[in-house]
Amino acid sequence: MSEESIKHELLDNQDIRTDLGTLSLQEGLNKDDIISQSQNTNLEPVSTSSPTASHSAHLNNDRHSEYINNLQNEYTDKPLIQSESINDKKNSELKGDTSYIEEETSINEPNEGITDDDIDETSEDGESTAEDEVTDEDSEEDEEDEENPPLLKYTRITSKLPKSFFQRDTISCCNFNENAFFFGTHAGILHITTTEFKPIQTLKCHRSSIMSIYCDGSNFGTASMDGTVVTGSLELPSQLTAFDFKRPVHAVVLDDDYVNSKMFVSGGMAGQVVLSQRNWLGSRTDVTLSKGKGSILGIYKLENTIFWFNDDGITFVDSVTKSQLLQIPYPQANHDFTQGNNNDLSRPDLFKPHVSFPESDRIIIGWGCNLWSLKVSLIPKASQESSHIGSILSSAASSLRGTPDRQVELEHHFTVQMIIAGVASFKDDQLMCLGYEKWNKNQIQLKAAIPELRIFDIVTGEEINSDEVIVKSYERLTINDYHLGKFIYNDSIPQYYLVSATDCINIQELSLIDHYEWFLKYDKLLKAWDIAQYIPSIQPRDRLTVGINYLLDELSLNHWDELGSNMKKVFTTAEKDSSEDIDFQQLINEQWQTLIFKALNAKKINKDLIDNLPQDHGFDILIFDTILEDQLLNKDFNEFCRLIHLWDITCFSTGVLEEKLESEIKHLSEENAKPYREQLIYLYLRTGKYSKAIAHMLINRDKKAIDILIENPHLIPEFKQSLIKIILLPYNKDLSTIENLSRDEITIIFTKSIQLSVAAVKYIPLDKLINLFKNNKRSTSIAKLLLIVLESISRSEPQLMRTQENEMVRLYIACDREKLLPFLKEKRNYDVDKAILICQAESGLYNELIYLWGRIGEAKKALKIIIDELNDPKMAIDYVISWRNDELWDFMITYTIDKPEYIRLLLKNSDILGERYMAVITGTNNNIKISNIKEAVNDTLNGKSLSLEVVKNILKLVDDESFHVAKEYLRLSGKGKYFDVDEAI
């Protein structure tokens, strides 16, 4: 037994079944009452029967939710199963040497049944057959220590069975069909009940142990150690037909169309697989399908596939073509001397095979310590032949064997550490196995052991679950005294039945409600609460009660770490479950707050509790205030900051916190108070107390104050005296270095400040704003900033700037002379005289002075600046030309007559000077050396000569043209004109 095996207590379940009443028995039959009732029947194709009909195996349609699957993975250990060598041991129950019996007998009269005298009324141990609990050998305390519920639930249902069960005549085999349950006994009695164990009929079919029961849903057949096969129908179960084979028969299967064909296949100690049918005379005809390979231990059928078990292993045959589909030899055990003698594990006749049909095309076989999984699939062919057992009869066409239309494939095979006494499909790809632990003190264990029920993964062989099941008088039973059956009624949860010679136990996978009740029983309240969501019968209020009890338990145990998240999970789920019940919603809030206050009173405030507080439930503001005060006073200031930013301000008392922060700040240095001031600023801003916030922001040099004033410009007058300080907040370096910044750098750094200044002029007079800049102790350093501010104001409020153009002139001269001249040319509201005085006081502003002198008509003063300061002859000439003033020309010639460069340039512009050209020449002192004067004079003379030549040529052209015109005129004028007087009259 593996360490993971668990002994489970089998509990009574009074609700599952009701008492079935007294079983009505009929009188038994003797051999003389049996006569032949054979009839001639044509061999016709029969309807395909499902595995469910053939061997009461059902497809596992698990209706549990996905939650159950998760529970299985969570709650069960999965030790890996190691394959071990197997020997086998001679089974004394299968010993014997009987002859083959061909005689057939039938029953003339309806079976009158058997009397109560045929069956003992008490069990062998004298115990009452009333339903009772199966106790666990382990202590109840061990079971209570389990963390997770078991996979399976066990309930003894002995009292639900007919009272004749489990007396001295014990159960030898079972069949759980979808239409009826069959129980055969060692006395040859067949009990037929409904699927709810209500008696249908009790029949005396055989004189000794019934070894096999087959039912296709309407007809049934039994095989017995007395050498007979008995068949009957559920409609008339008392009308039986018996067939005597003279040797013990271990197995029988009926043809799908048995009502018409009367065909069946049987086999037993004679070592033959025999097909029996009626010939045209009505006599029984037997055809041997296999022989000489040891006793037939079992025969099964899946549609057209028949397979049997003997010393040769497992043989699969297609009933249509009589072709062998697959042969699986019984595995030979590897010797393992640490486990004693293994030879018995290699004896197939020692173990009874067990078969389950989980699906219509799947076969699961358990035999000895071996498990096989096989798949039956169709091979497409043009035509389909007859599908009943009669197809394998000898006939004129039997020698023309066709190709099988199906194949059997071995999918998985593995050995397990147990001797198998029964198999049944479980859910998914899992298999339920009943049996014994393989070894007991180095010997194969075949009797007197506690039976075990294990769940395996059919693909990997992994053991998923293992339970020991205490049955009555197990110490007196052998491995072959146990039977495992499965039944599914109307797609309900599968029911499994463990039947022994003395007991019957119902096995079920724990349902959701079972899990829920188990969790409640063992105080796993959180898991009970969790699973309750999948159980419709549990109301939201009941589920909430479980959740609250869990939370109270956590409080009593001082489990605080996850209390907050668990509270949120319990209460928010309850809200979703009953969102329309206002009273229930109010109850949820009250209970939630009550538990929170319990934690606060215990001073167990942790991050889990804090992070799972809802903000939208209208909780008492005291909860949040208490938590915030705790974080602040306990110096967990980072958590305090996180919470006031996380929570909505409506959740806590901001005024109280503001007062506490103000008080803390007063007792701290400016540096240490900075983080507290930041949170105070945050609270002031969240509550709209901008004035108080800005006051602290100035202390912290928080440039966000600018944004607040931009968004709330009506506050600007309140901070007029601090406005320059606010404007300078974006600059973190020494303010004296601002003047070293370029205009672009200042514009980028002070973008918001400039925007604020522009907004300020709507609330503060512009001249006062300028004075604030000028009166600042850093006025010189911030003059460039003031200039940029005034430029921005000029663009947005040009009317305001008309009175400040003189200030702009001053600022341009001080900060940006390149833009002074364009400004002077563009604007008209500045004082020109003042501007001239300012420019004259500064060096290098010649162009600006030239413009200003010219603007007031003092062209000669402007010209003097060009000549004396700039010494630019070309500019001087251009300036005079622009004025178009003869007097200015005369002034220039007179003023520059002693300046060689000016004389040379004037001589080169003879066209412009005109008649004044000679005045320049005559007025020039002969002692003045003029560079390149010859070139200038030559250029002038050449130009004059060229002009004279051009004039002469033009004159000649005009003269020639005049001459010809005059000559023609004279010629014409000397001619007379003839007039015809007569015609004229």
Q: DSSP of 759-792, one letter per residue?
A: HHTTTS-HHHHHHHHHTSTTTTTTHHHHHHHHHH
Classify burial at 535, counting beta carbons within 10 Å of its beta carbon; exposed 0-12, middle 13-18, buried 19 or more: middle
Token pair for 401: 């064997």
Q: What integer pLDDT is reported at residue 437 of this predicted model? A: 87
| Full DSSP string of 690-707 | HHHHHHHHHHTT-THHHH
Q: Tell me the C-alpha distance between 360 and 57, whole Å.
A: 10
Q: What integer pLDDT is reported at residue 399 of this predicted model? A: 47
Q: Tell me the C-alpha distance between 921 and 985, whole Å.
A: 77
Q: Tell me the C-alpha distance between 873 and 890, whole Å.
A: 15
Out of 712-716, 911-915, 980-984, the most confident range is 712-716
Amino acid at 25: L
**Are the C-beta atoms of residues 273 and 311 closer than 8 Å to each other?**
no
Q: Tell me the C-alpha distance between 678 and 700, whole Å.
A: 8
pLDDT, mean of residues 725-730 = 93
Query: 688: Cβ–Cβ under 8 A, 6 or more apart, which residues?
Result: none
State in Å, rounded, how far the first CA of the chain is from the last one. 167
Each residue of 840-897: pLDDT tens digit? 888 888 888 988 888 888 888 888 888 888 888 888 888 888 888 888 888 888 888 8
Confidence label for 759 from pLDDT (cuts 50, 70 and 90): very high
Confidence label for 389 from pLDDT (cuts 50, 70 and 90): low
Confidence label for 392 from pLDDT (cuts 50, 70 and 90): low
Of the candidate ranges 69-83, 228-242, 459-473, 496-510, the one whose mean pLDDT is the lowest: 69-83
pLDDT for 326 beyond 70? yes
**Residue 838 φ/ψ, nearest 5 degrees:** -65, -40
pLDDT, mean of residues 469-473 = 89
Token pair for 120: 């003992």
Q: What integer pLDDT is reported at residue 472 of this predicted model? A: 87
pLDDT for 77 beyond 50? no
Each residue of 88-97: pLDDT tens digit? 333 333 233 3
**Are the C-beta atoms of residues 332 and 72 closer than 8 Å to each other?**
no
Dihedral of CA 841/845/850/853: which sign? Answer: negative
Which residue intervals of 501-602 are DSSP H helices? Answer: 512-521, 525-531, 540-556, 563-577, 582-601
Closest of 103, 27, 37 to residue 240, by C-alpha: 37
pLDDT for 421 beyond 90? yes
Q: What integer pLDDT is reported at residue 170 of this predicted model? A: 86
Q: What integer pLDDT is reported at residue 528 of this predicted model? A: 93
Which run of H or of E encompasses 202? Answer: strand 199-204
Token pair for 170: 């014990």
SS3 192: strand
Out of 5-19, 24-38, 888-902, the most confident range is 888-902
Q: What integer pLDDT is reported at residue 161 of this predicted model? A: 79
Of the candidate ranges 18-22, 339-343, 731-735, the one whose mean pLDDT is the lowest: 18-22
Q: Tell me the C-alpha distance between 122 and 90, whole Å.
A: 32
* Region class of 844: left (phi > 0), else alpha (psi between -120 and 50), else beta: left
Q: What is the DSSP letter of 10?
A: B
Confidence label for 228 from pLDDT (cuts 50, 70 and 90): very high
pLDDT for 230 beyond 90? yes
Each residue of 28-49: pLDDT tens digit? 333 333 223 333 223 232 232 3
Across the chain, what does the average pLDDT equal?
79
Residue the block writes with tokens 């397990």: 416
Of the candidate ranges 168-182, 645-659, 663-677, 872-886, the one whose mean pLDDT is the lowest: 872-886
Each residue of 919-933: pLDDT tens digit? 766 766 666 666 666
- Contacts of residues 686-694 at CB distance under 8 Å and 24 or more positions apart, as own/partner, are 686/649, 686/654, 687/649, 687/654, 687/658, 690/715, 691/715, 691/718, 694/719, 694/726
| Full DSSP string of 831-893 | -HHHHHHHHHHSTT-HHHHHHHHHHTT-HHHHHHIIIIII--HHHHHHHHHHHT-HHHHHHHH
- Contacts of residues 384-387 at CB distance under 8 Å and 24 or more positions apart, as own/partner, are 385/320, 385/321, 386/43, 386/44, 386/45, 386/320, 387/45, 387/46, 387/48, 387/256, 387/303, 387/304, 387/319, 387/320
Query: 597: Cβ–Cβ under 8 A, 6 or more apart, which residues?
Result: 623
Half-sphere exposure of 968 (CA within 13 A, CB side): 6
pLDDT, mean of residues 549-561 = 92
Q: Tell me the C-alpha distance between 540 and 746, whole Å.
A: 66
> How much of the chain exceeds pLDDT 90, in percent?
43
Q: Tell me the C-alpha distance between 107 and 659, whole Å.
A: 106
Closest of 54, 52, 486 to residue 300, by C-alpha: 54
Q: Tell me the C-alpha distance between 516 and 15, whole Å.
A: 17
SS3 719: helix
> Would you give the distance in Å from CA 780 to the centre of its chain?
65
Q: Tell me the C-alpha distance between 696 and 698, whole Å.
A: 5
Each residue of 162-194: pLDDT tens digit? 777 777 788 899 999 999 999 999 999 999 999
**Are the C-beta atoms of residues 360 and 50 closer than 8 Å to each other?**
yes
Confidence label for 568 from pLDDT (cuts 50, 70 and 90): very high
pTM of the predicted model as reported, rounded to 2 decimal places: 0.58
**Residue 18 φ/ψ, nearest 5 degrees:** -110, 160
Q: What integer pLDDT is reported at residue 345 of this predicted model? A: 73
Closest of 836, 735, 896, 171 to residue 501, by C-alpha: 171
**Are the C-beta atoms of residues 729 and 702 closer than 8 Å to each other?**
yes
Confidence label for 381 from pLDDT (cuts 50, 70 and 90): low
Q: What integer pLDDT is reported at residue 40 of this predicted model? A: 29
Closest of 872, 881, 815, 883 to residue 846, by C-alpha: 872
Each residue of 84-136: pLDDT tens digit? 322 333 333 323 332 222 233 333 333 333 333 332 333 333 333 333 344 44
Token pair for 162: 């007919």
Q: Tell me the C-alpha distance between 400 and 389, whole Å.
A: 17
> How much of the chain exceeds pLDDT 70, in percent?
77
Of the candidate ranges 15-29, 427-441, 754-768, the one whose mean pLDDT is the lowest: 15-29
**Are the C-beta atoms of residues 211 and 225 closer than 8 Å to each other?**
yes
SS3 556: helix
Q: What integer pLDDT is reported at residue 165 of this predicted model? A: 77
Q: How many helices (H) and strands (E) does the chain have?
A: 33, 32
Amino acid at 406: R
CB burial readout 142-175, b (16+ within 10 A) else e: ebeeeebbbbbbbbbbbbbbbbbbbbebbbbbbb
**Residue 467 φ/ψ, nearest 5 degrees:** -130, 140
Q: What integer pLDDT is reported at residue 703 of this predicted model? A: 92
Token pair for 94: 């299968």
Q: What integer pLDDT is reported at residue 44 of this predicted model? A: 30
pLDDT for 651 beyond 50? yes
Q: What integer pLDDT is reported at residue 949 of this predicted model? A: 65
Q: What integer pLDDT is reported at residue 23 of this predicted model? A: 24
**Are the C-beta atoms of residues 809 and 824 closer than 8 Å to each other?**
yes
Half-sphere exposure of 911 (CA within 13 A, CB side): 5
Give 107 or 670, the one with higher predicted confidence.
670
Within 10 A of 757 (CB to CB), how many other CB atoms are there?
A: 27
pLDDT for 359 beyond 80? yes
Token pair for 62: 């698990």
Q: What integer pLDDT is reported at residue 46 of this predicted model? A: 28
CB burial readout 103-141, b (16+ within 10 A) else e: ebbbbeeebebbeeebbeeebeeeeebebeebebeeeee
